[in-house]
Amino acid sequence: MRLIRFSTAASVCASLLLAASPARALTPADDKAITAAARATLPELVEAVKLPNVLRTSTADMRRNADWVEAAFKRHGFTARQLADGETPMVYAAGPAPAKGVKTVLFYAHMDGQAVNPAEWDQPGPFVPTLKRKRADGTWETLPIEDLTKGVPDPEWRLFARSAADDKAPILMLMAAMDALKAAGKLPAIQIKILIDSHEEGGPPTLKDVVDQNAALLKADAVVMLDGPMHESNKPTLVFGHRGGGGFSLTVWGARSELHSGHYGNYAANPAFSLAQLLATMKDADGRVLIPGFYEGVALDPAAKAARAAVPDDEVALRKRLGIKTNEKVGDSYQGALAYPSLNITSMKAGSPEASRTIIPAFAIATFDARTVPGTPAPRQIALVRKWVEDQGYHLTKGPPTDAERAAYAKLATLEGGEGQGQALQTPLDAAVGGWARRAFVGAWQAEPVRIPIMGGSVPTRPLVDGVKAPILLVPLVNNDNNQHAANENLRIGNYFIGVKSLYALFTQPL
């Protein structure tokens, strides 16, 4: 994996741009237009989250989403059209032509959502938008959905629905920001281009194909990805990178078939114990990976360290929210932990837990999530794990072992997966795109944004890096506790207004 890093020559551009285009403070007239536009688009947000959008469930649903998004952008003054992507098109939109000579920013968001289990949702369904407010005892009270559009909604209310936060709200925020711009009688200070993905949460990754086929259309000087949660303080947030990585599985084999535990216990090795012993060699008691070379290549430069230290994390509150007394000792803080690659077991299975049969399993399997950071390429990390398993005396097979392998080797295992891993991104903290966004947010909020060097999650930046060839900045706009990917996903209403204002500020700040 190549390190995704843009030239530090951007720091020179950043200095020049800082002098040429200082932060532009928003006026009371701007704030009035922003608030009115945000309120006016809330009914459309409700309509948007009614549309089922799980790609693996229905490609027809995704086409309906693409039709809706295209039509909505057109209603709000954008040009828009669908970009061919098999059965599930993506949507491209562009803002009105600004003054000549301005630079172009490509905004990215996605309209597909994670899979749902309706039974897990505390409402009639994941695609039945439900308005709630939190009671003093921490429980949620359902409000009539019509209350959202009556007067000024309470910023602490939440809209519960799949993709309310991840990622349909930012799409509607873009439209509301454009409405506010028109109401204020202003032209954007940048050329606005928008790409709405249909495969971010599931299905085969097709973004590369769409970007390659539309390279001229998507050409830009910078890319802003509107995904992920804001800092837990809910202060305006800029994120300069993300982890990469993906999953693989490790299977330890026992006897040819399941065995009666009474007849063969103490004679045939139990692969569940063998797997547990193998897994225990991979980490120490403080969570540090013991596999040689696993952390080699981690770049701990002073600028990133200083930026991590400046992030206003309340780690006591974080541990309380997570329900843990202490944290692992990889890195010196929560932000410091994200600077290192991780090795995480996501599931373990042996036998048939649901049947409670008295057997010795024939195999035991663990699935892994391995996250990477710049300097720790995924193929190398997987290769290190593979070598470690072999160093513990295991012969690695391709699938279930053959009779010949069973006769030749006492310890048998299979490691599968790890191909096509997502790649980590690190945009320099002094890149021009970061300086532009900082100036916009200082002008909007009269305060410095939280600047996070790298976040733990992964987003599909590689096709944009390769195809657009412009620096990428992540600008999360939704509440940190939005339950993304889980049941009861929600959007804090106050964050919708924050997001519209933040995008308005970006639209009106020259790059």
- Please write the tens of the pLDDT for every residue from 47-77: 999 999 999 999 999 999 999 999 999 999 9
Task: Tell me the pLDDT tens digit for each residue of 253-289.
Answer: 999 999 999 999 999 999 999 999 999 999 999 999 9
Asked if residue 143 and residue 258 are part of one domain, the reply reads no
Contact 450, 238 (CB under 8 A): yes
Q: Give the tokens for residue 273.
A: 């114990």
* pLDDT value of residue 12: 35
Strand intervals (E) in 144-233: 158-160, 191-197, 222-225
Query: How would you write 54-100 as a 3-class SS string?
Result: CCCCCHHHHHHHHHHHHHHHHHCCCEEEEECECECCEEEEECCCCCC
**Using CA atoms in the order 416, 368, 425, 300, what is the torsion angle rounded to 10 degrees?**
-120
Tell me how far apart the alpha carbons of residues 162 and 199 are, in angstroms, rounded to a whole number: 16
Classify strands 450-452 and 363-372 as parallel, antiparallel or unpaired: unpaired
Alpha carbons within 13 A on the beta-carbon side of 266: 2
Helix axes 168-183, 28-49, angle to 10 degrees: 140
CATH number (domain holding residue 388): 3.30.70.360
CA angle 333, 334, 338 (to 5 degrees): 110
With respect to residue 329, please indicate whether it lies within any of the assigned structural domains: no
Q: Are residues 459 and 441 in the same domain?
A: yes
Which of these three, 417, 440, 459, is where a domain ends?
A: 417
- The domain in which residue 249 lies consists of 244-298+340-417
Please give the mean pLDDT across all residues of the chain. 93
Residues 103 and 168 in one domain: yes
429 close to 304: Cβ distance less than 8 angstroms: yes
Query: What confidence tens digit (pLDDT) does each residue in 102-136 have?
Result: 999 999 999 999 999 999 999 999 999 999 999 99
**Is pLDDT of 13 > 60?**
no
- Per-residue model confidence (pLDDT) at position 458: 86
What value, to the nearest 5°, has the Cα angle with vertex 446 and ends 443 and 450? Answer: 95
In the chain, pLDDT over 70 holds for what percent of residues? 95
**Tokens (6 digits) for 168:** 């349909």
Task: Report the percentage of the chain scoring pLDDT > 90.
Answer: 87
- Angle value at C-alpha 181, between 179 and 183, nearest 5 degrees: 70
Q: Is the pLDDT of residue 166 over 80?
A: yes
Residue 356 is predicted with a pLDDT of 82
Q: Cβ neighbours of residue 247 under 8 Å, at least 6 residues apart?
A: 346, 367, 368, 369, 370, 417, 418
pTM for this model (two decimals)? 0.89
Mind listing the pLDDT tens digit for each residue in 400-442?
999 999 999 999 999 999 766 688 999 999 999 999 999 999 9
Please say if the pLDDT value at position 230 is more than 90.
yes
Question: Do 437 and 410 have their domain in common?
Answer: no
Q: What is the pLDDT of residue 4?
A: 41
Tell me which H or E stretch contains 238: strand 237-239
| Count of domains forming the chain | 2
| pLDDT over threshold 80, residue 181 | yes
Q: Is the pLDDT assigned to residue 14 strictly greater than 90?
A: no
Within this chain, do residues 118 and 249 fall inside the same structural domain, yes or no?
no
Tell me, yes or no, whether 323 lies in a domain.
Answer: no
In a domain, 327, yes or no: no
What pLDDT is attached to residue 420?
Answer: 62
Which of 360, 383, 417 is the C-terminal boundary of a domain? Answer: 417
Q: Given a cut of 70, is residue 83 above it in pLDDT?
A: yes
SS3 letters across 316-330: HHHHHHHCCCCCCCC
Provide CB contacts within 8 A for 356, sequence distance 6+: none
In a domain, 5, yes or no: no
Report which of 66, 98, 58 is spatially closest to residue 84, judged by C-alpha positions: 66
Average of pLDDT values for 456-475?
A: 94
Last residue of a domain, one of 417, 437, 456: 417
